[in-house]
Amino acid sequence: MVEQTIISQSAINTHIILVVGNSRSGTTMMGRILGKHRSVFTFNEDHFFEELWNPQETSQSLHFTQATLLVARLFSIQRDGYFYQGDIQKYINEAREVVDNLADPVTPPRIFETFLRYEAKQHGKTVVCLQTPRNVYYLKEILAFYPKAYVVNMIRDPRDVLLSQKRRWKGRLSGPRKIPLNHIIRTWADYHPITISLLWRSGIRAGDHFAHSPRVIQIRFEELVEAPEEMVQNICAFCGLTFQSEMLNVPHIGSSNRPDQSDHMGIDPSVAGRWKQGGLNTTEIFISQKMTRQGMMQHGYQVIPVWPNPVTLLLNGLTWGVKLGLVLLLNKNRVKNLVLAIKKRLMK
């Protein structure tokens, strides 16, 4: 019933590509690759489908002021950056112009689509690329709202995801732009081998649910970096794009495992399998494999024999509840419906 309502309210014409998957699975790299195409504009992570929209309010039409404020917020996220969004009043007049072109019903998803089309046009582009990993949990709603959308679902070895998440907060301390302290603390709190393994498992299940959709393609990160030209050609063909060789010239930035090298271009195959070189203890590897075993085997990742340290295993069990509580506390104001967000991640 919800899906039928969504489709009937949609009048979507924009060519949209969504890059989804678990965080640290190569979604940012894929967004950069697609953004190198001359027709594609890749947006910053916007987190619309969770932080700015509640699925339980699908058919709710916003009045002009509400719609204007929403568009102004989207402008701030895109132009100022997710971590640096501030006073949205500077975008109010432009937001009013966008909302003026909307016909009833003025629902949040329609407002979002209009904003995407407008912003891409400002950059002379005709194809929208949304690179927000957590959208993997909202594929049912997204595919229904946007009938011309294509989804690139990135999948990566859970042990490499775990290693990247473990080092992520340190990278934010030394990044090119100063990250607010509360975001660094939240990134540190987010890391726990149990939590990351649960998220990997739920993200994989969420994506696998649509694996046979003609509008969803699943890409293993390891295959992408080992044969980038072949894989990007396949992705372009799937999304209705013409392959352009410059799409492979992406900078080596954003990794948790090495310093940024913006002057180095291309796709480096050595970024796959980093966990084998160290950085995770045997307990972390054991927890990861134990909790993600089914998904690992389904997607071709080999489980290795490893035994945990009993003391660190016990400590991980004791600290998980504390860290999870801290994560919930730090993220409670970042989502429209916290209960729904938890269910989609940990109870799928």
Angle at 109 between CA 108 and CA 114, to 5 degrees: 95
Cα distance between residue 204 and residue 153, in whole Å: 9
Domain covering 2-60+107-346 assigned CATH 3.40.50.300 in the classification: yes
Cα distance between residue 108 and residue 85, in whole Å: 19
**What is the tens place of the pLDDT at every residue in 262-271?**
566 779 888 9
Residue type present at position 208: D
Distance of CA 129 to the CA centre of its chain: 12
Cα distance between residue 282 and residue 286, in whole Å: 6
Judged on CB neighbours under 10 Å (0-12, 13-18, 19+), 288 is buried
Cα-Cα end-to-end distance for the chain: 21
Q: What is the pLDDT of residue 5?
A: 32
**Segment holding 40, helix H or strand E:** strand 40-43
**What is the tens place of the pLDDT at every residue in 145-163?**
899 899 999 999 999 999 9
Joined tokens for residue 106: 């003025």
pLDDT of 312 higher than 90: yes
Tokens 């410059």 belong to which residue?
246
pTM of the complete model: 0.88
**What is the tens place of the pLDDT at every residue in 208-262?**
999 999 999 999 999 999 999 999 999 999 999 999 999 999 986 655 555 445 5
Joined tokens for residue 165: 């998440």
